[in-house]
Amino acid sequence: MNRENKKRKYDKKYFMKHPCTDSFTCKVCGWPVVSNGAGSNHRNHCPNCLSSIHLDNKPGDRSSECHGVMEPIGVWVRTGGEWAVIHRCRICGKIVSNRVAADDNPMKLMALAMKPFGSERISQKSINKLTISMEG
Amino acid sequence: MDKKIKYICPICRWTPAEYEPIHDWEHCPNCLSSIHEQDEDGNECGGIYEPVGIWVIDDSRWEIIQRCAWCGAMKSTPLHGDDNPLVVLSVASKPLANPPFPVEKTEELTRIMGGKGDIGGYYT
């Protein structure tokens, strides 16, 4: 690493151009997370509990002062058929979407997607009523 | 026709019937979309907030997660009683219709990565 690159490494916005390869321990579930195996250069959330920490305002700039826990609240399908996890910060309420990584817990992802179907708000009974009224 | 009384959705052109009560809807109850009026800096955006997901806080409180198709900003609005249940369910079932991994191998994949979970039943 030459002097120019070394200087840039300590720049706050270094990760906007370079991938962060540090391994870390998840602050929510304690899972030891390494950067490789994600299928992408940018590890964003814990592969076990899918939670993340609010560090960035724009991807990679590390400029957020919030540092709250970003909990996964849902998944959605991007154009192209890829899933993305929707994160919401517990402290400031910011909502962002992040691509799923290759080694994310499939059970947790499925549980997130199935959540609306296990709730009473639109229950099986009301769906039954809906179909009967639509049959005429 | 008084504009203040009648609500017309700018996206799907839905309007409430004569006898229906008028509310101050945050999103259109028919297509669950709305217009992104202003971004963070106060500039006009004008993109369409499309419903992308459902956030289940608890059984009685659901929120619709919307994403601006133009600038990518996201927000959530509470689900209203008159929201179209068919559209809500269709938004919720979109990820299930398009899983990123083979669903029949969910348990196996979870075990490989060291996680725990059980779908139940005899499908091993």
pLDDT tens by residue, chain B, 124 residues: 454 557 888 889 888 887 777 778 889 999 999 999 887 777 788 889 999 999 999 888 999 999 999 888 899 999 988 888 999 999 999 999 998 888 888 888 888 877 777 777 665 5
- State the pLDDT at residue B55: 94
- Token representation of residue A114: 């199935």
This complex has an ipTM of: 0.84
Backbone region of residue A65 per phi and psi (left: phi > 0; alpha: psi in -120 to 50; beta: other values): alpha
Question: What single-letter amino acid sits at A47?
Answer: P
Q: pLDDT band at A50, cuts 50/70/90?
A: very high
Of B115, B10, B103, B95, nearest to B54 by C-alpha is B95
Taking alpha carbons only, the member of B55, B81, B82, B80 closest to residue B66 is B55
- Residues whose CB is less than 8 angstroms from the CB of residue B5 and which lie 6 or more positions away in sequence, other chains included: B22
CB contact under 8 A, B98 and A97: no
Q: Where are the domains of chain A?
A: 3-135
Residue among A76, A81, A106 whose CB faces B110 most closely: A106
Residues of A within 8 A of B98 (CB-CB) are 77, 81, 83
User: What single-letter amino acid sits at A103?
Assistant: D
Model confidence, pTM: 0.86
Of B54, B92, B95, the CB nearest to A83: B95
Count of positions (residues) in chain A: 136
In this complex, do A121 and B106 lie within 8 Å of one another by their Cβ atoms? no
Reading the block at residue B103, the tokens are 């669903």
Q: What is the pLDDT of residues A88-103, one digit of tens each?
A: 999 999 999 999 998 8
Distance from CA of B96 to the nearest CA of A (A): 7
How far apart are the C-alpha atoms of A117 and A114, rounded to whole Å?
6
Judging contacts by C-beta atoms under 8 Å, the chain B residues touching residue A106 are 101, 106, 109-110, 113
**In this complex, is the C-beta atom of A107 within 8 Å of any C-beta atom belonging to chain B?**
yes
User: Do residue A116 and residue B92 have CB atoms under 8 angstroms apart?
Assistant: yes
Point out which residues pair with A87 in neighbouring strands.
Answer: A72, A96
Q: What tens digit of pLDDT does each residue of A96-132 get?
A: 999 999 888 898 999 999 999 988 888 888 889 989 9
